[in-house]
Amino acid sequence: MVLKSVTESFAKTIHGLKAGHLTDRAIQRSKRMILDTLGAGFLGTSTEVFHTASQYSKIYSCNISSTVWGRPDIRLPPTYATFVNGVAIHSMDFDDTWHPATHPSGAVFPVLTALAEALPRSPKFSGLDLLLAFNVGIEVQGRLLHFAKEANDIPKRFHPPSVVGTLGSAAAASKFLGLSLTKCQEALAIAVSHAGAPMANAATQTKPLHIGNAAKHGIEAAFLAMLGLQGNKQILDLEAGLGAFYANYSPKVLPNLHSYSWLLDQQDVAFKRFPAHLSTHWVADAAACVRKRLVAEKTLLPIDHIKRIVLRIPNVQYVNRPSPDSEHEARHSFQYIACAMLLDGGITVPSFHECQINRPQVRELLSKVELEYPQDNLPSFNTLYCEISVTLKDGATFTDRSDTFYGHWRKPLSQEDLEEKFRANASRKLSCDTVESLIKIVKNLEDLEDCSVLTTLLKGPSPPEMASNSPACNNSNTNFF
């Protein structure tokens, strides 16, 4: 078969990939991504933006429904359950990050849990079905990001998950639903017309909607394609198609299925140790090292002795926030992360509570921070570094540098620490038994015969069950430093 277009090659790949194409490395890495995504989603159900999104979505109803993770009191149509769960995943910016830059999992996994629960099928959707569709959704995002050089850098115009995440969601839904090659092609075309959200909404409550909308719009694109809606069959080939989102757009036909190589085999993802923009993790890492030289353990930082703090970082303006006023601004502030780490010696979920952000000690330190942009410090998650220098009033200067932090794909979290992060996040909503059951199920997901075993646990416990949570499990302030 001679392929006529890049778009057709994507449709053929989405339709043609089978479970036998999955490699052990892709399976293992994707299971880690799924566990981390679930944890971020459960934690995110405590946020104001999740509450707003779920209240809005309650106005919709239909004959079939899906679970809102951790909320047994809320059931929504699959598209809106997907939306709300996607919002929860990104509500604290605690979800995974890939290179070229995007948050790959949040737009894909909620689609699959919603479909697995809402749509009866015989035989049942299996864990392997879910893993295949998940990997297809991740793969499509990665391949599309390689079509434009600018995608290698931290974004300036469009938030990547709102673009490629929407197509990844459509691809995963199309695969899970078993759409034909032609319908897969139509789903991609429809998804492009749903894509795109501006970076101007970074560090606001609206940014989590980018992930929720990407997930929701992708599943809608697949449903509309099933019903016969048609779009431009060369949508990925054209500068006026997907190319409208990227300068110097250069699409390429995908590899032959007989020798297919997954991008996830070649490039792992980064898992965050605290809920903030990925670039701030380099800042936290360097600041932690400087703090160890400034103070002895359990000793207060000598704020009055500090004259200036210099951060040498890449020029990423939407993470340059010298005086953050909200949790979302603090999560996107080089300055706040440096000061919080210097002051407290660690960063956890409560570090972004308003009372922590507005402490007088934090505000005093923030006033002493200066930024420098070395020419060799490029705005790419694959190459950036952070150097921090703290100068005291007596003239002494303490400097440290982070080139790679623990959790980056070059220095991945151990499975033990990844599971500990999940426990800390999920235990806010789930009993210890449920948390441990989910860890076990995800660890052996390829052997799961019926996905309903997984989706049932995602509902969360009833109130009496929550009362039995053990304190040892319910430790949401775990410090990964």
**What confidence score (pLDDT) does residue 121 get?**
78
**CATH at 364:** 3.30.1330.120
Whether residues 260 and 285 fall in one domain? no
**What confidence score (pLDDT) does residue 462 get?**
64
**What confidence score (pLDDT) does residue 472 get?**
47
Whether residues 199 and 317 fall in one domain? no
Whether residues 75 and 161 fall in one domain? yes
Whether residues 133 and 230 fall in one domain? yes
In a domain, 377, yes or no: yes
Whether residues 166 and 115 fall in one domain? yes
**What confidence score (pLDDT) does residue 473 get?**
61
The residue-averaged pLDDT of 333-354 equals 97
Whether residues 265 and 315 fall in one domain? no
Q: How many angstroms separate the CA atoms of 423 and 475, rounded? A: 8
Q: Could you tell me the residue range of the domain that residue 142 belongs to?
A: 6-271
Whether residues 377 and 323 fall in one domain? yes
Residue where one domain finishes, among candidates 367, 402, 437: 402
**pLDDT digits over 259-290, tens only?**
789 999 999 999 999 999 999 999 999 999 99
Residue where one domain finishes, among candidates 271, 296, 329: 271
**CATH at 259:** 1.10.4100.10
Identify the band that residue 122 occupies on the pLDDT scale cut at 50, 70 and 90.
confident
Q: Does this model's pTM top 0.85? A: yes
The residue-averaged pLDDT of 387-398 equals 96
Whether residues 250 and 357 fall in one domain? no
**pLDDT digits over 346-355, tens only?**
999 999 999 9
Which amino acid, one-letter code, is at 142?
A: G
**What confidence score (pLDDT) does residue 479 get?**
54
Mean pLDDT of the chain, nearest integer: 94
In a domain, 472, yes or no: no
Whether residues 263 and 286 fall in one domain? no
Lowest-confidence pick of 99-108, 148-157, 221-230, 296-305: 296-305
In a domain, 325, yes or no: yes
